[in-house]
């Protein structure tokens, strides 16, 4: 079997049991990663993914770590163990995250806290735990999955958008801090993806019906993310139409809100 571009690499993927996380793990294995550390809440789903990869890729070691990224104490214990068990960590893909779409005044405090704990604090904590190791190595790549929603907030996603804007702000600041330490930092900003994400975010299915023509496949997102490993790619934005809309929104927010207000209120 030919050695892929990720041969010899040890890669961590959080939120690895489903959606784009699962497809990124598959793509990393396809590209020849030597060790995949897969993290998610569901141990059963992680074990099934490990078994699937074991049948397809003989040379890839897959290690399972069940963890709720929003539980900071458990996260610290898990990542402390990972730091000591593996001599190098080449890539950390902070993919774990979720959203709940609702009017802000109807959002529960628990939902708000959980989104912040998982999408922001968990992502920061995982990065903080591994950053010293990457600095000692003199290299590494941190990839944070944010969202187009972090650039263009829409009705009923105010809290989710706020968490993803925080991911983007953190990612940009971190990139500036570590650029001279051999550590690369990339943000991934997808629009809506055809995954089970919306079973929680949009249980009635209204949003999916309205944006279905712009939805991207998890496979295409995974391919673009894995292709960026080891490069100086600053951001990955897709699909193009939504990225262009977000750019216009940043330059002309009042105009976009006035002209496209109806389109933005589709949840």
Residues annotated as catalytic are 160
User: 222-235: b or e for each residue (b if 16 or more CB lie within 10 Å)?
Assistant: bbbbbebbeeebeb
Q: Are 39 and 12 in contact (CB under 8 A)?
A: yes
Task: Give residues with Cβ within 8 angstroms of 228, minimum separation 6.
Answer: 143, 186, 236
What SS3 state is found at 142? strand
Strands 183-190 and 140-145, by their bridges, are: parallel
Cα 144 vs. chain centroid, distance in angstroms?
A: 5
The Cα-based distances of 154 to 148, 177, 246 in angstroms read 10, 31, 11
Residue with tokens 């997808």: 190
Q: Are 48 and 78 in contact (CB under 8 A)?
A: no
């Amino acid at each position: 079997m030919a050695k892929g571009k990720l041969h010899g690499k040890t890669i961590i993927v959080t939120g690895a049991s489903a959606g784009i996380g699962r497809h990124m793990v598959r793509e990393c294995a396809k590209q020849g990663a030597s060790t995949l550390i897969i993290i998610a809440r569901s141990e059963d789903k992680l074990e099934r993914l490990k078994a699937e990869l074991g049948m397809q890729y003989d040379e890839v070691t897959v290690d399972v770590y069940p963890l709720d990224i929003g539980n900071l104490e458990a996260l610290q214990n898990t990542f402390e163990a990972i730091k000591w068990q593996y001599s190098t960590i080449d890539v950390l893909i902070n993919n774990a995250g979720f959203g709940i779409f609702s009017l802000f005044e109807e959002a529960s405090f628990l939902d708000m806290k959980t989104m912040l704990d998982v999408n922001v604090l968990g992502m920061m904590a995982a990065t903080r735990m591994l950053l010293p190791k990457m600095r000692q190595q003199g290299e590494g790549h941190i990839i944070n999955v944010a969202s187009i929603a972090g650039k263009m907030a829409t009705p009923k996603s105010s809290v989710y958008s706020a968490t993803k804007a925080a991911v983007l702000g953190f990612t940009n600041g971190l990139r500036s801090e570590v650029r001279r330490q051999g550590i690369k930092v990339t943000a991934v900003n997808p629009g809506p993806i055809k995954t089970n994400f919306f079973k929680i975010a949009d249980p009635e299915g209204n949003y999916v019906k309205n944006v279905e023509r712009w939805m991207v496949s998890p496979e295409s997102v995974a391919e673009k993310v894995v292709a960026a490993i080891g490069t100086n790619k600053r951001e990955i934005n897709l699909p193009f139409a939504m990225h262009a809309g977000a750019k216009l929104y940043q330059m002309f927010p009042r105009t976009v809100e006035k002209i496209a207000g109806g389109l933005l209120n589709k949840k």
